[in-house]
Structure 1
Amino acid sequence: KEPFLFFKNENPVIDEYLQKNKKNIIFVIGASWISKMYSKDKFVKIINALDENALVVWGNEFERTVATYIAAHSKARVLPKLDLNTLKALISKADLVIGNDTGPTHAAWALNVPSITIFGNTPGRRNTYATSINKIIESQSKVNPFKIDKSDLSINKIDEQKIIELAKGLLYEQKD
């Protein structure tokens, strides 16, 4: 499909973070609720296992703190705060986006960029249109889409190895 999320005059600072000799993976570590956020330690394990150019984006001070922790325990780099236009431009230049059920992760689908969206207490099949390049991974939680349980932390029970395997498939397997 053709991308249908557009941007213009993005901040050129993002080009300083992108690499040509490694795959550029954007990690979207925030979400609207803490119960929608995957474990920072599991993000570290994913980043270290993939050993590519890991870039962490954030939207508020709490997320910046999480991003800083992830960078301190991995080879990831924390990006400066980005406006929405520049964030869309960055995502469009990524090889893969891995993140929680939140807007920037979903933007990858609209930009036709490979993505893995991580779902715990929200319904993955309702909130994402899965394609051959846009994958979802869900917890074992029984989600009631009419009454989301914000105390459900099942997202953290998702095995990071499953995300690593999905990522390797999207990054390295031949595309049709």
Structure 2
Amino acid sequence: MIPSSKVQHILFITSSRIGDAVLSSGLLNYMQSEYPNAKFTISCGPLAVSLFEGLPNLERIIPLKKQKYNKHWIGLWKDIVGTRFDIVVDLRNSAVSRLIRTQHRYIYGSYVDKKLHKVEQNSSVMRLSGVPPSPKLWFNEAQREKAKALIPDGEGLVLGVGPTSNWAGKTWPEDRFIEVVKWLTSDNGFMAAARVAVFAAPGEEEAARTVLSSIPADKQLDIIAKTDPGTAAATIARCNFYIGNDSGLMHCAAAAGVPTFGVFGPSYPHIYRPWGAHTAYTSTQETFDELIDYEGYSAQTAGCLMNSLSVDMVKAAIEKSWPHITSSSQ
């Protein structure tokens, strides 16, 4: 194994999707401490770029925009072929990582147990033993300043809510989110009198605004399609608690150390639940396969598949998990 002090340049190839990119940050967290002298080159999808802009010892970020005939990989190879990397970590299993010079390469492959949580899968790529390194996000000054403008300092708690997702099937009904928010912020609630920050990505505004409009005007914090993912994560980091659907924002909240509660339906919680002792989740009793097992199912036309998950079920799960997720927050 190469001595830590000798590692100068590391290439990290990660996902185009927000959630997977965040979950991969545990390896960056590990390498930041293991190789303190190293400079990092990150290659990821354009949407994930802002998540890594605050990384300490960042040398450069190379956005990897998908092109026909895998030309994006050819472009990446041309961009980095002249650089000698001491370590290459490739979570995309690309040919590029096999064609460039390096002393050590770690590539996501068939040996990875796909039934494990994504954080555990990523840890196995580097053959790490023990507890997998937890995802972590770093924010630059511009992101922190924008976050402070969106959630100004003030008295009381801030509740973060992510009532949308990138697929209708795994989006819990907004009227149920409204009920849970009212319960949490009631006089006897865990987040009594809290300001409520509502988050959503571009294209998901309608449902999010329904939730926002249900909140008293003096408690509303509108973070709906206002920022890039990195700045959204920095803004979530200013919350005291976050509840949301299975989405990239949920993983951002957990990686930022915010007590996080995920609401799951047609997904795989054993792979994509929020990671960390400060997190919890609940899900429909039906599995993904059971939820989509009906005549005429189409992912493109399916509506909400989470109607069996009641408000009372979510409240009960929050009550049960509240002591440990709030006492374990980072």
Pairwise TM-score range, normalised by the shorter structure: 0.7 to 0.9
Q: Does 1:10 align with 2:143?
A: yes
Deviation at 1:164, TM superposition (A): 3.3
Write the deviation string for residues 21-48 of structure 1: whole angstroms up to 9, x where unpaired: 3221111122111111111101111111
Higher RCO structure (Cα 8 Å, ≥6 apart)? 1
Tell whether the 8 Å contact from 2:179 to 2:311 is kept in structure 1 after alignment: yes
Residue in 1 that maps onto 2:286: 141
Residue in 2 that maps onto 1:66: 207
Residue in 2 that maps onto 1:42: 176
Deviation at 1:13, TM superposition (A): 4.2
Secondary structure in structure 1 of the residue aligned to 2:288: coil
Write the deviation string for residues 135-163 of structure 1: whole angstroms up to 9, x where unpaired: 01100122239x89743733232122333
Deviates more, 1:80-89 or 1:153-162: 153-162
Deviation at 1:100, TM superposition (A): 0.8
Partners of 2:276 and 2:314 in 1: CA distance = 16
Deviates more, 1:5-14 or 1:117-126: 5-14
Partners of 2:325 and 2:279 in 1: CA distance = 14
Deviation at 1:99, TM superposition (A): 0.7
Tell whether the 8 Å contact from 2:277 to 2:325 is kept in structure 1 after alignment: no
Secondary structure in structure 2 of the residue aligned to 1:162: helix
Partners of 2:156 and 2:317 in 1: CA distance = 18
Q: Does 1:79 align with 2:244?
A: no
Partners of 1:171 and 1:98 in 2: CA distance = 15
Partners of 1:115 and 1:38 in 2: CA distance = 16
Residue in 2 that maps onto 1:116: 261
Secondary structure in structure 2 of the residue aligned to 1:94: coil
Q: Normalization by structure 2: what TM-score?
A: 0.46
Residue in 2 that maps onto 1:170: 322
Deviates more, 1:155-164 or 1:88-97: 155-164
Partners of 1:12 and 1:2 in 2: CA distance = 25
Q: Normalization by structure 1: what TM-score?
A: 0.81
Change (3 A) 1:42 1:171: farther
Deviation at 1:20, TM superposition (A): 4.0
Tell whether the 8 Å contact from 2:172 to 2:306 is kept in structure 1 after alignment: yes
Tell whether the 8 Å contact from 2:265 to 2:287 is kept in structure 1 after alignment: no
Change (3 A) 1:6 1:66: same
- Which structure 2 segments of 5+ residues have no match? 1-132, 186-193
Partners of 2:209 and 2:146 in 1: CA distance = 19
Deviation at 1:172, TM superposition (A): 9.8
Deviation at 1:109, TM superposition (A): 2.0
Of structures 1 and 2, the larger Rg is shown by 2
Partners of 1:104 and 1:173 in 2: CA distance = 18
Change (3 A) 1:85 1:91: same
Partners of 1:125 and 1:154 in 2: CA distance = 18
Partners of 2:325 and 2:250 in 1: CA distance = 21
Secondary structure in structure 2 of the residue aligned to 1:140: coil
Write the deviation string for residues 52-88 of structure 1: whole angstroms up to 9, x where unpaired: 2211111123x21212211222234322511122111
Tell whether the 8 Å contact from 2:259 to 2:325 is kept in structure 1 after alignment: no
Partners of 2:134 and 2:272 in 1: CA distance = 20
Residue in 1 that maps onto 2:120: none
Deviation at 1:19, TM superposition (A): 5.2
Change (3 A) 1:132 1:162: farther
Deviation at 1:171, TM superposition (A): 7.5
